[in-house]
Structure 1
């Protein structure tokens, strides 16, 4: 609905920066807060047709804001006349507005049918070329959500070959995106055939060949789209799953490594998660697993996989890894989401117990806690936390209480059993 509010704003072109600056100086010290503008501003030369459509749009807005979908649909049927407006340059600016509002109404209308969606999408696609590819993509999404996979694929296949005039960078980008989603549909069909094949007693070579054809169709565009910098998580997962199925582990590992470490791609924690999960599935050495999790820890120190990272470090033979494990768990507990997690506190206790076998363990712990001593007690060790933990999780209370003197030896903490909830 917020998107529609923006869509229903004034349709006039914004003035250039220079004129805006001049206007600001003339207004003096007026408030710079945004004002609510009318949807359509009446113009001096407004015709009867434009007046009717402007009022109609206002009624649509009121109906949408109050969720009167049937009323909005009736007004929308009239407002669509703007597509036939003979005024030069006027119809174009209303096309996206009609498309967006119509889709919103159909999405919420209790009696909307697939035929209604198809009609509005087809009409909007052929009312102009500016949004053709985006409308095709949205149309295919709707078909997909309603289980019409083959129809969705046909929509994307038709859009994939569509060209208009001189190809722009934006048009090329949208075409690539459509190719990627078309490949995603090939993957879905491939999954269906794989499921049927695995549960059939009469599988034959033709079935295998048909399934492999969908893999080839999907992999061509998926491999191509992954060359472009961006966040392509669902496409990566689909491509890797197919490569694993056909035992092409070398290509799968290359794809995941490129996605995680190629500097052209934006930093993406999920890329390192996918790489770690793949390596773990294929029994990769713990040293390689730790290498991947080390990067993830820098990106998201509160990630749930940090428990696994700290476990790997804890069981490592290297002395320095134990100190790293301490830092990893302490950074996890810096975040409130881990504050009451028993596994995290147990891990911290196990690390400290092993660390105590080293002569300099007190210096190591105090070094890690130096920057935390001013705020950790308020985050973890107040009388309120003591009361809450003793009531909800006595085992957590026991583990935390055993660590208070180790982590904050110079402080008088109120994290003790039996405290009330009013103290800090």
Structure 2
């Protein structure tokens, strides 16, 4: 059987490693950090935060794959009472229901949006400017982009439908995403995968197929390929722990501008110490804006939905995710136009900004399966030719 090298031990890399090992291939994973997980890491300590809001969408192919291998683990459902506390920031106030015009775009019978037109133009024709703008901003929960209306209408529509589907597709692994990563790593280990951490790779190995499961920026440097670029988002991330108070919102979606605040302990109380709530926010920011601009907008939403939060804060952290929130497709492009998985000479590229379908982590998953399939087929053809 071939030896496959996987560079990167995040969700995509571990998916590739497990899939290849299940076929009998020998696999080695190299991870530059001291822990596996990539962007799916969960912080250690009292407050178990991820790099921005993380959820598993049950409508995606990775859901079935993880469940079949008993890798999902226990999930933290959203209590019905908490779900009823979703608030929408529209026209400067918090509301319980979206504008009626926005609902037109959520109907299953609504027309399929085109690829070559921006969402704002197409949606305005369907529901008017107010509904189109509200829908575009709501979709930011699955886009992390400062101007969703400027993106391909088909791209935004798919994410809007997935984010608003009932019953909700979003599910939360209890204990954070690291619990899923730990189970994936354990399965890889049991399959004989060799995993090396603190192992930065600066040159491609020559023994067998190589799957590069890093960020696009890192892959561009490693492969010395300037074409490995694609648009992504830039997002201000705010993590807070606050003392518990009745009446706090479960989540706030900003319909006046892109942004999302969520109280993650609403479904998983183990993410913070007893008597405290863990709140995470993601506010997409434009290229000319600073992190402080995004934090200021987050604080405004907190003022509206979390009464007295400033006096209740027990812990706080801020960060910026730049190009780390997945691919976004501009008008006239689709996932097929992103950097290809097969880079030639037995090198395959996987991750959330490559040419594979899906929403958020589904792109990483689909690209990992495709890369392993291509790598094994190539090796089988070579072996047959040599025989």
Question: Does the TM-score normalized on the shorter chain lie above 0.5?
Answer: no
Choose between structure 1 and 2 for higher RCO, CA contacts under 8 A separated by at least 6 residues.
2
TM-score range, shorter chain: under 0.3
Bigger helix share: 1
Larger radius of gyration: 1
Bigger strand share: 2
Which TM-score applies when normalising by structure 1?
0.18
